[in-house]
Amino acid sequence: MAVTLHDVARAAGVSIKTVSNVVRGQGSFSAETRERVETAVAQLGYRPNVAARGLRTGHLGVISLIVPDIRNPYFAELADAVMTEAARHDLLVVIEQSRGQRETELELLRGERTQMVDGILFSALGLTDGRGVAAQVRTPVVVLGEPIPGWPTDHVTMRNTEGAQAATQHLIAEGRRRIAAIGALRGQRRGTAALRLAGYRRALDAAGLPYEDDLVLDVGVWTRSAGADGTRRLLAERPDLDAVVAFNDAMALGAVRVLGDAGRKVPADVAVVGFDDIDETRYSVPALTTIKPGLSDIATTAVSYLRQRIHHPGDALPVRSHQAHFELLVRESSP
């Protein structure tokens, strides 16, 4: 027989409402009460009845996370952080891939699948203009990344400009002067690539170093192969480069491999810094210096914003934005 809220309340010596509040993470209760309820839940093996809760509250207890590509290590680690935070609130997470295609993103935001979830966390890539989107999307959405022009909705992002600036400043402080940037999209004024390029340029300006266009490489898809191919082109055109700022860790790892193949020692000849602090960077040879974004901060804030939108659908909540903290982790690739 399934364990019920009544069983948990009896074992913990509290009311059914208190058990419900603790399980849902709502209402007020003491730390001692929470501990008693959580102990009873664990001992009895209580599991909330999602279907019954949906009928009672009108909520399914399911949210979706839309990312461009789950094979990208950053998005895999983002998904892990989101699922960990969602579980704290008894929420299930459905992961969807858009492949960065605008039409796929729009379908995932407004199609039939939205009836299966209470809200959406959306990492956009193809959707760069949000005009008219708000009228078509009926499900609460929090954007993970930079705001989408024309679509006033909550967004949670990282400090892209400041992070890239810190990475470049670190290389300058180490005596590097011919610093390449891999991952730019110079034709774009908005988005992650544009912000990280702005941080790179800001660091050069502050140090009195010239911006050299042939040291900046445009890359559309940030993969290891793109970082490798880009580094080969840079070495052919600028063999005098002495450092690389890659706008994500995957490209940085590709760059390290090509530099080694070319007989350029890292960091003695060329220092390399990435961005994202994916797990692999701790174990690469050399271990990669990188910018660590606050993934836990991003996930916690995004899930909080989304839960508020889900539970207060008629309220005129203000559009909110949050920039997560970051940390420069200096490892073997750039001392």
Q: pLDDT tens for residues 191-202?
A: 899 999 999 999
Domains in the chain with CATH codes: 5-47 (1.10.260.40), 58-157+295-323 (3.40.50.2300), 160-294 (3.40.50.2300)
Q: Can you give the pLDDT of all 335 residues of the chain as single tens digits?
A: 677 778 888 999 988 888 877 876 666 778 888 888 889 888 888 776 655 555 455 667 899 999 999 988 999 999 999 999 999 888 999 999 998 899 999 999 988 888 889 999 999 888 888 888 888 888 999 999 988 888 889 999 999 999 999 999 999 999 999 999 999 988 777 789 999 999 999 999 999 999 999 999 999 889 999 999 999 999 999 999 999 999 999 999 999 999 999 999 999 999 999 999 999 999 999 999 999 999 999 999 999 999 999 988 767 789 999 999 999 999 999 98
Q: What is the pLDDT of residue 57?
A: 55
**Which residues are CB-neighbours of 120 under 8 A, at least 6 positions away?**
63, 64, 65, 66, 108, 109, 114, 139, 140, 141, 142, 306
Tens-digit pLDDT profile for residues 127-145: 888 888 888 888 999 999 9
Tens-digit pLDDT profile for residues 30-89: 888 888 888 988 888 877 665 555 545 566 789 999 999 998 899 999 999 999 999 988
Question: Do the Cβ atoms of 139 and 119 come closer than 8 Å?
Answer: yes
> Which is it for strands 243-246 and 179-184: parallel, antiparallel or unpaired?
parallel
Q: Which residues pair with 141 in a beta bridge?
A: 120
Q: Which residue has the tokens 């400009």?
A: 161
Q: What is the pLDDT of residue 50?
A: 57
Question: What share of the chain in percent tops pLDDT 90?
Answer: 63
Sign of CA dihedral 251, 255, 256, 261: positive
Rounded Cα distance between 196 and 185, Å, is 10
Inter-axis angle of helices 31-44 and 5-12, nearest 10: 120
Q: What are φ and ψ of residue 245, in 5° steps?
A: -105, 110
pTM exceeding 0.85: no
Q: What are φ and ψ of residue 246, in 5° steps?
A: -100, 135
Q: What is the pLDDT of residue 4?
A: 79
Nearest to 67 by CA among 96, 102, 93: 96
Inter-axis angle of helices 73-88 and 295-311, nearest 10: 50
Q: What is the pLDDT of residue 129?
A: 84
Q: What is the pLDDT of residue 185?
A: 85
Q: What is the pLDDT of residue 307?
A: 95
Cβ-count burial 80-89 (b if 16+ within 10 Å, e if not): ebbbebbeeb
Q: In what order do the strands lie in the sheet with 155-158?
A: 92-97, 62-67, 119-122, 141-144, 155-158, 321-324
The neighbour count for residue 274, using CB atoms within 10 Å, is 33
Q: What is the pLDDT of residue 15?
A: 87
